[in-house]
Structure 1
Amino acid sequence: MAQPNPQYYGCGKSGNFTTNSTYQSNLDSTLTSISSDTKINYGFYNDSSGQNTNKVNAIALCRGDKKPDICRSCIKNSSQALRNLCPSQKEAIGWSDDCMLRYSNRSIFGKMEFNPELILFNVNNVSEVTQFNQVLNPLLASLTSRAASGDSLRKFATGKASNRAAGAFIASVFLVLFW
Structure 2
Amino acid sequence: MSFLKLIPLYYLLSFTFSLHTYIVTSSPDPLNHFCFDSQTYPVDGSYCKNLNNLISYLSFNVPPTGFGLGFVGRQTAETRVNGLALCRGDVKSSDCKTCIVKATDEIRQHCPNNKGAIIWYDNCLFKYSNEKFFG
Residue by residue, what CA displacement relative to the aligned partner does 1:85-140 show, whole Å, maximum 9, x if unpaired?
Answer: 10011000001100011000010113xxxxxxxxxxxxxxxxxxxxxxxxxxxxxx
Over the matched positions of the two proteins, sequence identity in percent amounts to 34
Indicate the structure (1 or 2) with the bigger Cα radius of gyration: 2
Q: Pick 1 or 2: higher relative contact order, CA cutoff 8 A, min separation 6.
A: 2
When the two structures are superposed, what TM-score results if normalisation uses the length of structure 2? 0.74
Instruction: Please point out which of 95, 117, 127 is paired with 2:120.
Output: 95
Which protein has the bigger helix share?
Answer: 2
Aligned length: 109
When the two structures are superposed, what TM-score results if normalisation uses the length of structure 1? 0.57
Q: Does 1:21 align with 2:45?
A: yes
CA RMSD of aligned residues (A): 1.6
Question: Alpha carbons of 1:78 and 1:5: their partners in 2 closer, same or farther (altered >3 Å)?
Answer: farther
Give distance in 1, aligned partners of 2:129 and 2:38.
Answer: 8
Any gaps of 5 or more consecutive residues in structure 2?
1-24
Instruction: Please point out which of 80, 83, 101 is paired with 1:55.
Output: 80
Partner of 1:30: 54
One-letter amino acid matched to 2:83: A
Q: Cα distance, 1:65 vs. partner?
A: 0.2
Give distance in 1, aligned partners of 2:29 and 2:71.
Answer: 23
Give distance in 1, aligned partners of 2:26 and 2:47.
Answer: 28
Give distance in 2, aligned partners of 1:58 and 1:72.
Answer: 15
Any gaps of 5 or more consecutive residues in structure 1?
111-179
